[in-house]
Structure 1
Amino acid sequence: MESITAALGPLFLLILLGAGLGYWRWPSPDFWPAMERLIYFVLFPAMLVGTLANADVSQVPVGRLALVLLGAMALFGILIWRFRHWLRLTPAAFTSVFQGAVRFNTYVGVAGAAALHGTAGATTAAVAVALMVPVVNVMCVASFVGAGTLGSASLGKSVMALVKNPLILACLTGIALNLSGIGLPGWSGDTVALLGRAALPLGLIAVGVALRPTALLRVDRGLLATNTIKLFLMPALVLVLAWLVGLDSISRDVALLFAALPTATSAYILARQLGGDAELMAAIITGQTLLAMLTLPLWLQLAG
């Protein structure tokens, strides 16, 4: 337990630092939105490309990892849709609950995997991102379509945003460079590595900046349902599936980590743009991020 908290503790402190900077609006209200765009479009994609382009992906059980992560995500997505009437939520609130249950914070996941298992953990996490990001984005856009909160114009924009998603493009680029044997020749490897090193600390601080503590005042059925699924039921199912398919310890820990992660802060932007309940989404993001500081180490300790 001590080794797990030692690995994850600095990550949580960076998130709390970001929360403090966000509360004091330092250095300015316009600084962090611009920084988030830099992280999302440049720094984090560079890290994914650098990791995947030179990684020995043959050491990662891609098929079994996909079965565990995508299987759990698909199952809970179907269950939430099946029981949406039982939750008695408005269409807008349902989309926020859906996002809160299936989306995951990529920055925390990759940083946590690297902190726990070094290069092998970062490589496995990059593969997990390549598997999960396209699927989770399609599922979330489909939830908005199914709930009827957006029109055809918004649907078109959502599809284009999915096609141009920098994380998806970065994963495809890294895999293509790896399979082709080109890798990152010359100075490109060191340049991409330098950019990638900045991604995780800045990304974690940006996660903290995006938290909205006042949103925690909201407590309702939707909030309780999505937090229960994301922080307890999803990791429990992934742990069972990882045992059934025989994942090695590193792949198991990364799979469990991604299953137990709080939802992505970008879910708030999607909720605003596509007709979701943005205030509920803010409460879900904030609550899950803070609660995960307690639940993540416990799940990893249980797995160990």
Structure 2
Amino acid sequence: MIADALGPVFLLILFGALLRRINFPGAEFWPGIERLTYYVAFPALLVHRLALADFSNADFVRFSLVICAALLLTSALAWLLKPLASRNAADFTSMFQGAIRFNTYIGLAVASALFGDPGLVIAAIAVSIMIPLANILSVLCFSLVIDGNSKTLSGVLKGLLSNPLIVACLLGVALNISGVGLGHAWIEGLLARLGAAALPLGLLAVGVALSLGTVKQDWLGIVLASVLKFAVFPALMLGLAMWLELDLLSQQVLLLLACLPTATSGYILSRQLGGNAPLMANIISAQTLLAFAVIPLWLLLV
């Protein structure tokens, strides 16, 4: 089941690399696709998912505590490793994103395949908490370390509130809490179809940017990001879930979400905000492959 969920994702990345190699449809085509994905497709996906999320079937407070604590502790450790982890600020932003971001599409697909509808409900609720926080932490990282980004409090806040992913998260949650939802079925259908384009376009863009020749020189960033992502983050998530006595299914789903490979949107963010996009692409590809082995091993523990 896990292989069935991860296989198409990795094949899409490889297909993007093939398109780049044969120069189809041309190098000038992909920057526009990246902007479309970043400013339209991914925000549409976030608004659609968060506006329709059902928060009534889980302990939202304990879920929030477990997820927020695990994300914040992993982020803090990544910052402590900053002097060791990167040659420059752009490298660090890729390592940081590789440590805390997660591939929502893979998570929901695997949760549904492994745990059925009950697991999918828990995963959707958890994702609605993780997406805004992971995006806020990622944008904050860029605002603080990349030259040219404002480092004043007002500048950081402006960067957060003008980021399309953050705006989409806030809008989706507001529509959900207010009870407005997405209104007309046409709007829901529009957002669902725009959001559906985010995964294939994002993965193809990652493949286009993938340069296997740079993997060797990027090995330190890839290794550190993957250790934080596949060892530290899942261990914290599982330990906190057990400590707060969440039920077994909730522990399994939260563990699954914690050991997912990093999100393809991290590459788009790197391209738009001045990060090391090729390193980010290599981290995404390496982690997607590693997840085939890591996810089953972690799930065996619980």
TM-score class normalised by the smaller sequence:
0.7 to 0.9
Partner of 1:41 in structure 2? 39
Report the secondary structure of 2:234's partner residue.
Answer: helix
Q: Report deviation, 1:130.
A: 4.0
3-state SS, counterpart of residue 180 of structure 2: coil
The one-character-per-residue Cα deviations of 1:84-135 (angstroms, maximum 9, x if unpaired) are 45x3754524444333322334454455445555766665555444433443
Partner of 1:97: 95
* Residue identity in the other structure for 1:150: D
1:229 is displaced (CA, Å) by 1.5
Aligned residues: 299
Of residues 161, 164, 167, the one that matches 2:162 is 164
Deviation at 1:282, TM superposition (A): 4.7
What TM-score does the superposition give when structure 2 sets the normalisation length?
A: 0.77
Select which of 141, 147, 152 maps to 1:150. Answer: 147
CA distance in structure 2 between the partners assigned to 1:11 and 1:252 by the alignment: 25
Which residues in structure 2 correspond to 1:288-303 (within 5 Å)?
Answer: 288-300=287-299, 302=300
Q: 1:87-126 residue pairs with structure 2 within 5 A?
A: 87=84, 89-92=86-89, 93-113=91-111, 116=114, 124-126=122-124
Give the equivalent residue in structure 1 for 2:19.
Answer: 21
Identity %: 49
Runs (5+) with no aligned partner, structure 2 = none
- CA distance 1:4–1:152, shift in 2 (3 Å): closer
Query: How much does 1:247 deviate?
Result: 3.5
Q: TM-score normalized by structure 1?
A: 0.76
Contact kept in structure 1, 2:100 and 2:229, CA below 8 Å: yes
Whether the aligned pair in 2 keeps the contact of 1:73 and 1:102 (CA below 8 Å) is: yes
Contact 1:271–1:278 (Cα < 8 Å) also in 2: yes
**Shift in Å at residue 254 of structure 1?**
4.1
Hey, what's the Cα distance between the residues in 2 that align with 1:117 and 1:204? Answer: 26
Matched-pair contact (CA < 8 Å) for 2:16–2:208:
yes
Give distance in 1, aligned partners of 2:121 and 2:171: 15
- Helix, strand or coil for the counterpart of 2:225? helix
Cα pair 1:53 1:176 within 8 Å, conserved: yes
Provide the C-alpha distance between the structure 1 equivalents of 2:168 and 2:288, rounded to a whole number of angstroms.
Answer: 26
Q: Distance in 2 between matches of 1:261 and 1:99?
A: 13
* Aligned CA distance change for structure 1 residues 297 and 83 (closer, same or farther; 3 Å): same
1:178–1:67 distance in 2 versus 1, CA, 3 Å:
same
Matches within 5 A, 1:163-202: 163-188=161-186, 189-202=188-201
Cα deviation code 1:155-210 (max 9, x no counterpart): 67664342123333223323322333322333333333333333334444444444
Q: Which residue of 2 aligns with 1:243?
A: 242
Aligned alpha-carbon RMSD (Å): 3.6
The alignment status of 1:71 with 2:69, answered yes or no, reads yes
Cα separation, partners in 2 of 1:166 and 1:108, compared to 1, 3 Å: farther
Task: Specify every segment of 5 or more residues in structure 1 that has no aligned partner in the other structure, as ranges.
Answer: none
